Structure 1
Amino acid sequence: MTDIIVYSSDTCPYCTALKDYLKEKNVAFTEKNITTDMEARKELMNMGHMGVPITIIDNQEIVGFDQPKLDQLLKL
C-alpha cells in the first residue's frame, strides 16, 4: 500500500482541491494540518517548505496540486 501524506492548512483552496481529488479517486491519505498541528508545521519547514499543499508519496514530494504528477505516481 502506498503511504500518502498531505500537508495542508485551513485557508488553502489548493489543499481543499487536492484532498477532494484524492477522495474522489478513493485514495487514502494522512492529512497533516499545519494550522492546528505545530509538529506538522515544523516537519514541513524542516523539509524546506513554507507553503502548502505538499504531498509525500513513497518519499517523493509534490509541491502544489499537480494532478498529472499525482496521477503518474498513483497510477491513476
Structure 2
Amino acid sequence: MKKILLLLFFFTAFIPSQLHAQETSKKAIIVYGSDDCHHCIDTKAYLKKNNIEFVFFDIDKNADALKEMLAKLKNAGISTSNLGIPVIDKQGVIFTNNGVFEEFLKKLN
C-alpha cells in the first residue's frame, strides 16, 4: 500500500510539471533567464516585437525551471561551466546566447 501511495505521489507531484513544459514547447519557445539579465530582457522584447509566442521562466525565482533547464542542457550536451543566459528551448532544440547577440536573436525566428 505504501508503494502505491508513493508512486501516486510521484506522478501527481512531478509528472504534471513536465507535461506542462512539453505542451508549452510544442506551441511556443521557452526562454529560461532572469528578470535582471539585459540579454533576457532584450530577448523577450524581440520575441514580442516579432509576434513570436514564448513562455519565460525566471530561473532566479523558479527552482523547478532551473532544474528543468539544467537537465535540458545536459541532455543537449551543452556545458554549464560557463553558461550564459538566456537559454532557449525552441521545439526541443536547446541553445544559448554564447556569441554575437544579433546572431542569437536570428535563431529565434
Give the structure with the larger helix fraction: 2
- Cα RMSD after superposing both structures: 1.8
Aligned partner of residue 14 in structure 1, secondary structure = helix
| Deviation sequence 1:16-44 (CA, Å, 0-9, x none) | 00000000001111111101101011112
Aligned partner of residue 70 in structure 1, secondary structure = coil
Instruction: Give the unaligned 5+ runs of structure 2.
Output: 1-25, 75-79
Aligned partner of residue 61 in structure 2, secondary structure = coil
Instruction: Give the unaligned 5+ runs of structure 1.
Output: 72-76
Sequence identity percentage: 32
Q: Among 2, 10, 18, which residue is 2:43 paired with?
A: 18
* Larger relative contact order (Cα-Cα within 8 Å, sequence gap ≥ 6): 1
**Which contiguous aligned blocks of 4+ residues in structure 1 show a shift greater than 4 angstroms?**
none
- Whole-Å Cα distance in 2 between the matches of residues 58 and 10 of structure 1? 23
So what's the TM-score if we normalise by structure 1?
A: 0.79
So what's the TM-score if we normalise by structure 2?
A: 0.57
Give the structure with the larger strand fraction: 1
Aligned partner of residue 5 in structure 1, secondary structure = strand
Query: Is 1:2–1:57's contact at 8 Å kept on the other side of the alignment?
Result: no
Following superposition, the deviation at residue 68 of structure 1 comes to 2.2
Structure label with greater radius of gyration: 2
Letter of the structure 2 residue corresponding to residue 31 of structure 1: F
